[in-house]
Amino acid sequence: MNHLTPFSGFHSTSASASLAGAFGRILLLLGVMMAMLTTFSPPDITAQTTPAEEGGETVVIIPIRGAIDPGMGHFLERAIGEAEAAGASTIILDINTPGGRLDTVLEMRDDILATDIPVVAFVNREAFSAGALITIASDTIYMAPGAVYGAATPVMGGTGATADEKTISAVRSTFRATAEEQGRDPLIAEAMVDPSVVVDGLDSSTSLLSLTADQAQEVGYADGVAGNRDALLDELGLGAATVDVASMTLWERAVTWITNPVVASLLILVGIALIVVDGFVGGFGVVALAGVASLGLFFWGHQLAGLAGWEDVILVVVGLVLIGIEVFVVPGFGVPGILGGISLVGGLVLAMTRRSFFDEGFAAEAGDVLGTLLITLALTVVAIVLFSWALPRLVPALARPARGPQRMTLSATVATGGKGPSRPGFFTRLIGGGTVLERDVDGHTALTRTPRSDPHTPRDPGQRS
């Protein structure tokens, strides 16, 4: 009888080691994230302002340029607070934006309505979608020649499709209430959101309302036209006032960049993919640390934006742990994998949305984020599978069965009743974990690349594993 090389006790030791290793890596990941979030939190960025001299007037100009995102919302909140502390007489919003996040613009709207300082919106070329709301929320509206604003129906950022009727209704009500607050015709505000609302002479039932400078003046949605900032100051009678132009801090620019949907998706993709890929090259090294840095940067930016919290980090870590158990310890696609996926997705969605669960537009924003996130995770899985297929071919030295996930997917399958040996789960076989641990009729165990159909047939000693 051919005797096989014994590996008794190997499976239990390997499983324990793999489980401990998975937990160790995830705990290290959590530790690094916590260190990044704590160490690199920005200092108090409220400027030390000096109240305006008695009898003088101070105008604070706040540029609203580009997409409206959490960084922009934080910037506006800070700038208004500094203007109030400095005793400014007027705030001018210099607006040129295609729109942006609904949750952010709702907070910006509230900040504008809440301040006691008169706010002037200067539509300097365009203010669409979210930009239209902050324009309507302002006390006074001026437009540059050729400027236009409106067209504010909510859309899903991931697909560009129009949002559902419930969301449209909620946003329409918000526009209506804002217009009423500032003494403007609410029907015109509603027509910017809902094409079914028609304003005679301005739009039709198949289009959203957008206003030019002349149209806006005719219907009371603009108080005048100004060619530039200096002309606007003259129109307002503030030509001799002290002018302070607010600017975004380094932290706010970082938040704007990191919370951009494309950048955030790339950080998630790269972070998860690199951590998993590190299993293929063995050990928790440079590749995994790069993945940790990517996820840490993602959470850091979203934490500064007031989106992510510690509970989100914990959910993501728990999800990665459960998925690691599913892939490396428990073959198949079962409860750990399902729970891990739910925890991972839930943590990432919460990290990219605000906790305003019952506010208007939250469901649409969360659904939008979820759609984008699922696409990102699908691309991450594809990237991992492609890498696991290409790595052994590009770097033959790494194509060894006792490396990375393959060493975790050894299954001690003993067949005594005519049953064939069990196989690793679909996902583990997909990423290359096809090696199993078999036992022959004498109780000896040996590594084979694929399970034999008949476990009672002795293994040919010349067979290569």
Which residues are paired to 97 by β-bridges? 127
- DSSP-based three-state secondary structure for 175: helix
Is a pLDDT exceeding 90 seen at residue 190? yes
- The angle at the Cα of 201, spanning 199 to 204, to the nearest 5 degrees, equals 60
Which residues are paired to 62 by β-bridges? 93
Is a pLDDT exceeding 90 seen at residue 149? yes
State mean pLDDT over 135-158: 89
pLDDT of residue 34: 55
pLDDT of residue 349: 82
State mean pLDDT over 229-245: 93
State mean pLDDT over 166-172: 86
Amino acid at 218: E
The predicted model scores a pTM of 0.67
Amino acid at 384: I
DSSP string covering 82-97, please? HHHHTT-SEEEEEEEE
State mean pLDDT over 150-163: 75
- State the DSSP code for 458: P
pLDDT of residue 390: 72
- DSSP-based three-state secondary structure for 62: strand
State mean pLDDT over 279-284: 59
Cβ burial of 341 (10 Å; 0-12, 13-18, 19+) is: middle
pLDDT of residue 29: 59
pLDDT of residue 157: 60
pLDDT of residue 365: 67
Least confidently predicted of 75-79, 364-368, 457-461? 457-461
What's the rounded Cα separation, in Å, for the pair 197 and 435?
64
Query: Domain residue spans in the chain?
Result: 1-43+261-465, 58-248
Contact 87, 49 (CB under 8 A): no
Query: Higher model confidence: residue 457 or residue 182?
Result: 182
pLDDT of residue 173: 93
State mean pLDDT over 265-272: 85
Query: Higher model confidence: residue 9 or residue 99?
Result: 99
Q: What is the pLDDT of residues 375-390, one digit of tens each?
A: 888 888 887 778 767 7
Query: Higher model confidence: residue 259 or residue 7?
Result: 259
**Which helix H or strand E contains 31, and what residues bound it?**
helix 10-39
What's the rounded Cα separation, in Å, for the pair 92 and 63?
8
Q: What is the pLDDT of residues 64-116, one digit of tens each?
A: 998 898 889 989 999 999 999 999 999 999 999 999 888 889 999 999 999 99
State mean pLDDT over 18-29: 53
State mean pLDDT over 282-289: 67
Is a pLDDT exceeding 50 seen at residue 308? yes
pLDDT band at 347 (very low <50, low <70, confident <90, very high): confident
Q: Considering the chain, what percentage of its residues have pLDDT values greater than 70?
A: 65
pLDDT band at 306 (very low <50, low <70, confident <90, very high): confident
Q: Which residue carries 């997909």 as its tokens? A: 430
Q: Which CATH superfamily is domain 58-248 in?
A: 2-enoyl-CoA Hydratase; Chain A, domain 1 (3.90.226.10)
Q: Which candidate, 364, 345, 346, places its Cα nearest to that of 356? A: 364
Query: Higher model confidence: residue 363 or residue 266?
Result: 266
pLDDT of residue 5: 38
Q: Which candidate, 82, 60, 48, 51, places its Cα nearest to that of 241? A: 60
pLDDT of residue 450: 46
Mean pLDDT of the chain: 75
